[in-house]
Amino acid sequence: MIKHRADSIQKLNDEQAAEAKKDKTIAEQADTIELLKGCIMELADVVYGDGGR
């Protein structure tokens, strides 16, 4: 079994934490985009009306 130095293990943990944070940020951005799309669609319904009333 290979033994790792404490600093190399810490570096790996830091890289994994950074990747997880990046993934979380991307997911939050995707959620925000979907929310904005819904708002735009609702606004379009108000401006242009449902079914041409």
Q: Where are the alpha helices (DSSP H) in the chain?
A: 6-48
Q: What is the pLDDT of residue 48?
A: 85
Encode pLDDT of 3-31 as tens digits: 668 888 889 999 999 999 999 999 999 99
Q: How confident is the model at residue 51 (pLDDT cuts 50, 70, 90)?
A: low
Choose between 47 and 39: higher pLDDT.
39
- For residue 35, which amino acid is it? L
Which 8-state DSSP code applies to residue 50? Answer: S
Q: What is the pLDDT of residue 42?
A: 92
